[in-house]
Structure 1
Amino acid sequence: MQWIKNNVSLRVNGHTNISLISAFEYTDQIAIHITSENLFGEKVYCHYYDAMRKLLQTPFESRVFPESVIYCLPRPGTKFVSLSRNQQDEPDYPVPLIDRTMQEPVHYFSVCVAPFFGTEPKWLMISEFVEYYKLQGATHFFFYVVNLSNYDMKQLNDYVRTGDAEVTIIYNRFDRAEYGWQRNIIQNCLLRSRNFSYWTAFVDIDERLKMTLFNGTVVDYLKQVKDPLIGSLQFSQTWLMKTETQPGRYVNDEETVKWMPTQRYRNTSSVGPNGHTSKCIVRSNTVGAMFVHFPFVFYPNYKRYEMDPREGVVRHYRDLNLGNWGKTWLKDVEKFGPFQNTTMDPVTSNKLIDAVVKRVNYVYEKS
């Protein structure tokens, strides 16, 4: 394949040990996602199992592409799959196939969220994130957890309970830094959203895609995209200076509103140039391999559309202390132009406050 020859998505990192995360069944192929990030282009073997986890037929030879993904031919009766480096090796523990054979997407607009890691409390950020994108028309959320406290998981699990979200727990079997999972998980969410959602945003928990002069929500904008060859919409960044760590526990409604990032932080940078840490909404069926900020490659004829900042931008509530971002990158952002105080529009802001207060109160307030 030409994409392998061109080293598309190549990342010499991680471990060569095969450890499966998920597997997805499409009408014409099976995609298996693994934790390894340095088996690019390597030969591997797909193993097939029935519902009783009994091996079916002989293994199928394939190669790793994109990084961390293996495509296998489908075989009748397959319910579980696994992999091995050599045909005669014992395969890794098999994982169940996740059905993605639907002819029509279940959701129109979903959101893939970068993996949770680190120690900062996230219960309030989770609620504000979900409620904001629900106001923008999103109906499903894909979350990934590398490290999250039990207190924060309570909020996340409540969205699972009500059918808003699904959560994949990432077990780090190897010596990998927590922050090193994002590029790997991007591929998983691309596969997970394919056929399942027509449009899917790929964003971090501190990012809000926002329409600017366009009069409507994100979904309103998506519905007026008429070119069938557009595979992604690229949003340029603005950065809002987040200067504090989020509170560790729910106290009351007033404190909730006080600490909501959209209500607390206003110091906003000018818009960054096209492609500078931009984020995107993609049609997963059109993308062959995904990067954190944009698709690496599209299937033939598909293309990306660069959003004019007058149409929409990313409002990124960027923690200045996380990863020494303020010391390392702020000086570059300052070159893009002056800072100014900005706020969310009052109608959306009030709806968001009401939704977040109601949800966190439901989860954490003792009745």
Structure 2
Amino acid sequence: FRNAVTCRYYDCNRVEIHSARFKSRVWPLTVISCPRRIGVEYVSVSFDDDDEEDVQEPIPLIFRDYESIAESTKYTLEYLRLGWMFHLLQTHVCHHRSKFHSKWVVNMDIDERLVYTGPFNLKHYLRSMPSFIGEISFATNRVLKTEQVPERFSSYAQLFEDMFFLKHNKTTEISWYNLKGIIRPELVASLFYHWSYFQFEGVRVMSVPRRIGHVRYYRNMNKSALNGNWIENYNGTLSETRLAPSFEKKLVRAVKKRVKYVYDQRIVRCEEIPEWLTSRFRRELLDCKFRYE
């Protein structure tokens, strides 16, 4: 609260518009006010201008529907009736929201990593696609995840030992079984989980050669889970593979930073909040406790 913060603005390519930076403050409560800027498609904030790692991931500026003071979502209860098929609804919500503000959408889960091994970088590769390509599909290999991630954080030493991208490295061959796609949303009408099911007229899907890239999927070995017999679709040969060392280091730092953000929290003391705020807002809204409580 009341800390100095910098609003940072980005164009459609997520290149920062340095001249548009704006000095603001966290006020009131947890609100950061960033004024409008011409030509801006993404916005982010930072609390330390000298630390580039402090900059939060830019988020797109889009129009959304609100009811009262909260964004409206109509799908929460559907999981009770649809089970894991609910994932298809989630995928389509993401797909339709991303139309016209994201040129490409990576349709993958949090336990999957896109490994690009082609020339230059992935952005350059996507920009080289003809205008009629609505999806590029990647083959996958699977990393055997033989243990579950602990439910609770105990220590940073234990966290390092349990990072599954360091711990699990036995890998299948790269296969087109259960491919994953990167979608151009305005060219695709509907999806089937991780790839497009129906494209508009004249739109084509392209399979990416394995030498260009693949998806690394950390998959559990629980046979009672959905598609628990997945390993039968591979040839049975396993090899030890890892992510690129430089990326592993960045990922380790990012995980530690996120865990620290979640767990290194403390209760806000009511004595720390200015009196004019405590007299204006209800105690329940401030969510604070007095020292003697």
> Which residue does the alignment assign to 1:287?
188
- Alignment TM-score, normalising by the size of structure 1: 0.50
1:217 to partner: Cα distance: 4.4
Matched AA of 1:202: N
* Pairing partner for 1:311 from 212, 221, 243: 212
User: Measured at CA, do residues 169 and 317 of structure 1 come closer, stay the same or move farther in structure 2, by a change above 3 Å?
Assistant: farther
> Which residue does the alignment assign to 2:30?
none
- Alignment TM-score, normalising by the size of structure 2: 0.62
- The answer to whether structure 1 residue 261 and structure 2 residue 164 are counterparts is yes
Write the distance in 2 (CA, Å) between the matches of 1:306 and 1:315.
16
Deviations along 1:170-224, one digit per CA (max 9) or x if unpaired, are 4215742531211222222111110121110111221111113x2554334323x
> Which residue does the alignment assign to 2:112?
207
> Which residue does the alignment assign to 1:176?
81
| 1:78-93 equivalence runs, <5 A | none
> Which residue does the alignment assign to 2:131?
228
* Pairing partner for 1:218 from 122, 140, 153: 122
* Pairing partner for 2:91 from 178, 182, 186: 186
- The answer to whether structure 1 residue 360 and structure 2 residue 265 are counterparts is no
| Cα RMSD, aligned residues only | 2.9
> Which residue does the alignment assign to 2:248?
349
Gaps of 5+ in 2: 1-38, 43-52, 61-70, 267-293
1:253 to partner: Cα distance: 2.3
Write the distance in 1 (CA, Å) between the matches of 2:169 and 2:195.
27
**8 Å contact from structure 1 (residues 231, 303) kept in 2:** yes
1:277 to partner: Cα distance: 0.9
Write the distance in 1 (CA, Å) between the matches of 2:90 and 2:174.
27
Write the distance in 2 (CA, Å) between the matches of 1:281 and 1:289.
13
* Pairing partner for 1:278 from 179, 198, 202: 179
Matched residue of 2:105: which SS? strand
> Which residue does the alignment assign to 1:251?
154
User: Measured at CA, do residues 174 and 364 of structure 1 come closer, stay the same or move farther in structure 2, by a change above 3 Å?
Assistant: closer
Structure whose alpha-carbon radius of gyration is higher: 2
1:254 to partner: Cα distance: 2.1
Write the distance in 1 (CA, Å) between the matches of 2:40 and 2:91.
20
Write the distance in 2 (CA, Å) between the matches of 1:286 and 1:312.
23
